[in-house]
Amino acid sequence: MTAVDPLVILLELSQRARQAATPDELRFVMVNETHGLVPYRQAVLWDGRGKVTALSGIPLPDAQAPFVAWLHRLFHHHSHMAPTDRPSVVTGPLAPPGVREEWPEWLPEQALLLPMRLDERVLGWLLLARESPFAAAEGELLHHLAGVYAHAWSCRARRQERAWRQGVFSGWKKGALVAMTVALLFWRVPLTTLAPAEIVPIRPEVVRAPMDGVVMRFHVQPNEVIQTGQPLFDLDDTTLKSRLEVAEKGLAIAESEYLVTSQLALQDPRSKAQLAILSGRVEEKRLEAEGLRELLTRSRVKASRSGIALFSDLQNWIGRPVITGERILTVADAGAVEIEAWLSPGDLIPLAENAETTLYLNVDPLHPRTARLRLLAYEATARPDGGVAHQLRATLTDASAPPRLGLKGIARLQGERVPSGWWMTRRPMALVRQWLG
| Residues of each domain in the chain carrying CATH 2.40.30.170 | 334-436
Query: d(Cα 33, Cα 23) in Å, to the nearest integer?
Result: 15
pLDDT above 90 (res 188):
no
pLDDT above 90 (res 340):
yes
What would the mean pLDDT of 61-86 be, rounded to a whole number?
73
CATH topology of domain 334-436: Elongation Factor Tu (Ef-tu); domain 3 (2.40.30)
90-134 pLDDT, tens per residue?
Answer: 777 767 777 778 888 888 888 888 888 877 777 888 888 888 888
What would the mean pLDDT of 185-193 be, rounded to a whole number?
86
Confidence of residue 293 (pLDDT cuts 50, 70, 90): confident
CATH topology of domain 203-234+301-332: OB fold (Dihydrolipoamide Acetyltransferase, E2P) (2.40.50)
The three-class DSSP label of residue 98 is: coil
Q: What is the pLDDT, as a whole number, of residue 52?
A: 86
As a residue count, the chain comes to 437
pTM of the model: 0.51
What would the mean pLDDT of 186-207 be, rounded to a whole number?
89
Torsion angle, alpha carbons of 222, 223, 224, 226, to 10: 110
| Residues of each domain in the chain carrying CATH 1.10.287 | 237-298
223-255 pLDDT, tens per residue?
Answer: 888 898 899 888 887 777 777 788 778 878 877
What would the mean pLDDT of 181-208 be, rounded to a whole number?
88
Please, what is the average pLDDT of the chain? 82
More confident residue, 225 or 78: 225
CATH topology of domain 6-168: Beta-Lactamase (3.30.450)
CATH architecture of 237-298: Orthogonal Bundle (1.10)
Range with top average pLDDT, 121-125, 267-271, 305-309: 305-309
309-329 pLDDT, tens per residue?
Answer: 888 888 888 888 989 888 888
Burial class, 146, CB count within 10 angstroms (exposed 0-12 / middle 13-18 / buried 19+):
buried
Q: What is the pLDDT, as a whole number, of residue 286?
A: 83
117: nearest Cα among 143, 135, 140? 143
User: By the 8 A CB rule, do 27 and 33 touch?
Assistant: no
What would the mean pLDDT of 55-63 be, rounded to a whole number?
82
What would the mean pLDDT of 410-427 be, rounded to a whole number?
86
| Residues of each domain in the chain carrying CATH 2.40.50.100 | 203-234+301-332
Contacts 24+ apart (CB under 8 A), 61-69: 67/106
